[in-house]
Structure 1
């Protein structure tokens, strides 16, 4: 029996803004974008990982009640969620390219632990680490 993670989700405050960020600045592509009333199932994929989807979801019904959704939005906006990791061949080159596209970095590239990494956030506040693959 085959098993594996197909979708991991992020909470975002504006799905259209998140979609533009992940597609235009990080190079992901849309996998699924369907609505059901007020709920929108929106996922993107990295072009080199077609079996994995990143969900860009708004906190709220039908999953969360209004008070919990507001608390989640506040936590995400503060950057309090654990960072996700985007592996790249050349961290410094990716940093320069993404910075040129308007990505706001929280940490410039730094050499440590035998590799190079940098930090950035998406428009909702979700933290990311850009980590250079080890040679």
Structure 2
């Protein structure tokens, strides 16, 4: 038996937490789980409806060079075409339309800081 039970959250480096919070809640549809001061900084943890893993909008001091990079992971949805249409209607910038592969479909989108995310079918 493993002593680790799940991935609690993954962090997204951002330059403007308010702008990132608006993007992830208003456009993508995530929910705020925690938004509170953490010393001189702010800790924002978002929940993904139906998922155990959350996203944190936080850039540790000294990691500012990671803002605008590629998110080393994949976000999942049931229907990439549907998600692409809905998110595009809300102003989410995609690199192109969904692409089909033997394992499923995927599309890449960017947040306001230029971080790139893969959205793929389960």
- Class of the TM-score when normalised by the shorter of the 2 chains: 0.7 to 0.9
Tell me, in whole angstroms, the C-alpha distance in 2 between the residues paired with 1:97 and 1:12.
23
What TM-score does the superposition give when structure 1 sets the normalisation length? Answer: 0.78
Tell me, in whole angstroms, the C-alpha distance in 1 between the residues paired with 2:107 and 2:39.
39
Matched, 1:90 2:79: yes
Structure 1 residues 114 and 47, CA, compared in 2 at 3 Å: closer, same or farther? Answer: same
Structure 2: any 5+ residue segments left out of the alignment? Answer: none
Q: Report what 2:56 is aligned to.
A: 55
Structure 1: any 5+ residue segments left out of the alignment? Answer: none
Contact 1:83 1:126 in 2 (8 A): no
More helix by percentage? 1
CA root-mean-square deviation: 1.8
- The total of aligned residue pairs comes to 120
What TM-score does the superposition give when structure 2 sets the normalisation length? Answer: 0.86
**Which residue of 63, 67, 89 corresponds with 1:76?**
67
Q: How does 1:91-106 map to 2 (within 5 A)?
A: 91-106=80-95
